[in-house]
A = this chain, B = another copy of it.
Amino acid sequence: MTSTKIKHALPVKRSEDFAQWYQAVIAEAELAEESGVRGCMVIKPWGYGIWERIQKLMDERIKAAGVDNCYFPLFIPLSFFAREADHVDGFAKEMAVVTHHRLIADPERGLIPDPEAKLEEPLVVRPTSETVIGAAMARWIQSWRDLPLLTNQWANVVRWEMRTRMFLRTSEFLWQEGHTAHADEADAMTETLRALEMYRSFAEDVLALPVVAGPKPENERFPGAVATYSIEAMMQDGKALQAGTSHYLGTTFAEAAGIRYQDKEGQQVLCHTTSWGVSTRMIGGVIMTHGDDDGLRTPPQVAPHQIVILPMLRDNDGDEALLAYCEELRKALVSQSVFDEKVRVLLDKRPGKATAKRWGWVKKGVPLVLEIGGRDAENGQVSVVRRDRLWREDGKVDFKGIAREEFLATATSELESIQDALFAEARAWRDERIERGITDLAGLAAYFADDRPMPGWVELGWSRPTGEALDKVVEQLKALKLTIRNTPIDATPPTGTCPFTGEPAVERILVARAY
């Protein structure tokens, strides 16, 4: 792609201004928009369609693990929060609080919360549901026979964010939160790691996002957790995105909520609990991993439409035969399966020029776009372009004319190939940008120097300091705008000394700028 003729579909390129580019993709692909309500977005059909695909495919995995979906209240009484001190410290700064249950019209001020309808106990809009689900678990669990208790909910949660960015950090977002209770640490840890592995494989196999899975250092743990694991994906600006977390909560929440069981010897024992979640943030990760200067490239597994057929209508007598040809093509495609589901195909019959409509679908990232003219219909051909290979060297869109039968015979393998290509491309790109040769702070500072616009990640050995020694490391990293992302599970053992403490390195950590 050396041609200078290529005229990209977005008003701004990734290399020019990544943040602006991100907003442009969201706008031009019609994924979401600001709602007029502070920090809350409207998720539009294409964005919500991707979320529905994520929900469906993740829910299958959650159910296959024997987890039952439930629904718990949106509101959490203040007293529930007060029970777990670390947890409330971690969340108290950013919660929406309901204090009244009625409005009245004031002659001067218009509608106001009715002072007569003040709640005795304010209610918090859930930022996460450990406390309220813990209270239910305490009711549901009596005996060892009730364990493990495996629950999940798909819900909206609210965290009052000061700086918001669509999909990545919004005051309200959609997610699933799994909550489980176990007889002992071993069983709870097995579940924590099962969820982590579910997220890793989901990110890689479904979203084509290569991720690094591992435990977080203690300063980055979920409020109240004993251990927090994450999957981290590299965006095209080199920053890390935490795309899912799984927490081993020890007996912290069990103690606060009184989740106990009678063991086989008749003793009352505290449960060990876990929680794990992924959210609409994943869509932000898909955009910043697979987007290009023409918009989004949606992985076929989560594309609401995998194939769009655009008839080049001419408002004349030939249209009828053309539409019949396209409809017949659509039917032949939807009868096929890919990724164990029926192929999702849209025949776009809306009025308007086919080329204008084409760019709409290119920006949304439909994996295969077909343009069908009257001559294609007569000759039994289709004209097709892969979204991941949009341009020819000469700067023209790489439409290929092939026989209808050949297209029908290869369409599903093309979709699989696009899914694989997106993953391979993202992985190769990321792997090139993980620097493993840095051994001191000066090297770290040089790698992340401000005149290097899109650095990647640094993986380095450290001595795993704790407490105040860790605080010092965190401060040193903060000065470079860096955080420790996690300790990659599959990293090679470290050699040498820790650049922060000078002590022997015992494990390797990922250091990066992050969303």
Which residues of A does B touch, CB under 8 Å? 33, 35-37, 40-45, 48-49, 51-52, 68-78, 81-82, 88, 92-105, 110-113, 122-125, 132, 135-136, 139, 145, 151, 155-156, 158, 160, 171-172, 174, 351-352
Are A68 and B97 in contact, with the CB atoms below 8 A? no
Q: How far is the CB of A128 from chain B (nearest CB, A)?
A: 15
Q: Tell me if B102 and A35 are in contact (CB < 8 A).
A: no
Smallest CB separation, A106 vs chain B (Å): 11
Give the complex CA separation of A72 and B33 in angstroms.
10
Question: Which of chain B's residues have a CB closer than 8 A to the CB of A73?
Answer: 35, 37, 40-42, 172
A-B contact pairs, 20 of them (CB 8 A): A40-B73, A40-B74, A43-B70, A44-B70, A48-B71, A74-B125, A74-B158, A75-B158, A75-B172, A81-B103, A92-B104, A94-B101, A96-B101, A97-B101, A99-B113, A100-B122, A101-B160, A103-B124, A155-B156, A156-B156
Is there an interface contact between B35 and A72, defined as CB atoms closer than 8 Å?
yes
Interchain nearest-CB distance for A378 vs B (Å)? 30
In the complex, which of the residues B69, B75, B145 contacts A48, with contact meaning CB atoms closer than 8 Å? B69
Contact A82 B110 (CB under 8 A): yes
A508 CB to nearest B CB, Å: 38
* A41, B88: Cα distance in complex, Å: 23
**Residues on the B chain within 8 Å of A160, using CB:** 101-102
Question: How far, in angstroms, from A508 to B92 measured CA to CA in the complex?
Answer: 57
**Residues of chain B with a CB closer than 8 A to A158's CB:** 74-75
Determine how close the nearest CB of chain B comes to the CB of A145; give it in whole angstroms.
Answer: 7
* Of B37, B81, B136, the contact of A42 (CB 8 Å cutoff): B136
Q: How many Å lie between the Cα of A37 and that of B73 in the bound state?
A: 7
Best-surrounded residue of A49, A99, A351 (most CB of chain B within 10 A): A99
Given A74-B172, A103-B124, 10 new contacts (CB under 8 A): A33-B139, A40-B74, A49-B68, A49-B69, A74-B156, A78-B112, A82-B110, A92-B104, A95-B102, A96-B101
Separation of A102 and B161 alpha carbons in the complex (Å): 11
Asked if A103 contacts B132 (CB within 8 A), the reply is no
Q: What residues on B are CB-neighbors of A76 within 8 Å?
A: 37
Which residues of B lie under 8 Å from residue A44 when comparing CB positions? 70
Assuming the contacts A74-B172, A172-B75, asked whether A97 and B69 have C-beta atoms less than 8 A apart, the reply is no
Which residues of chain B have C-beta atoms less than 8 A from A81's C-beta? Answer: 103, 111
Return chain B residues, CB-CB under 8 Å to A45: 68-70, 151
Alpha-carbon gap, A481 to B282, bound state (A): 52
Measured between beta carbons, the chain B residues less than 8 angstroms from A82 are 110-111
Which residue of B has the minimal Cβ distance to A99? B99
The chain B residue sitting closest to A93, CB to CB, is B102
Chain B neighbourhood of A111, CB < 8 A: 78, 81-82, 88, 92
Distance (whole angstroms) from the CB of A507 to the closest CB of chain B: 36
Least CB distance from A397 to B in Å reads 25
Residues of B near A98 (CB, < 8 A) are: 96-99, 125
Tell me, in angstroms, the Cα distance from A352 to B146 when the chains sit together.
12
A158 to B102: give the CA distance in the assembly, Å: 12
Contact B125 A103 (CB under 8 A): no
Which residues on B sit within 8 Å (CB–CB) of A351? Answer: 145
Min C-beta distance of A150 to chain B, whole Å = 10
Q: Is the CB of B102 within 8 A of A92?
A: yes
Q: Give Cα distance in the complex from A465 to B134, angstroms.
A: 54
Q: Which of B78, B95, B125, B132 is within 8 Å of A125, CB to CB?
A: B125
A95 touches B103 (CB 8 A): yes
Contacts of A36 in B (CB 8 A): 77, 132, 135
How many angstroms from the CA of A278 to the CA of B198 in the assembled complex? 34
Q: Which residue of chain B is the closest to A91 with respect to CB atoms?
A: B103
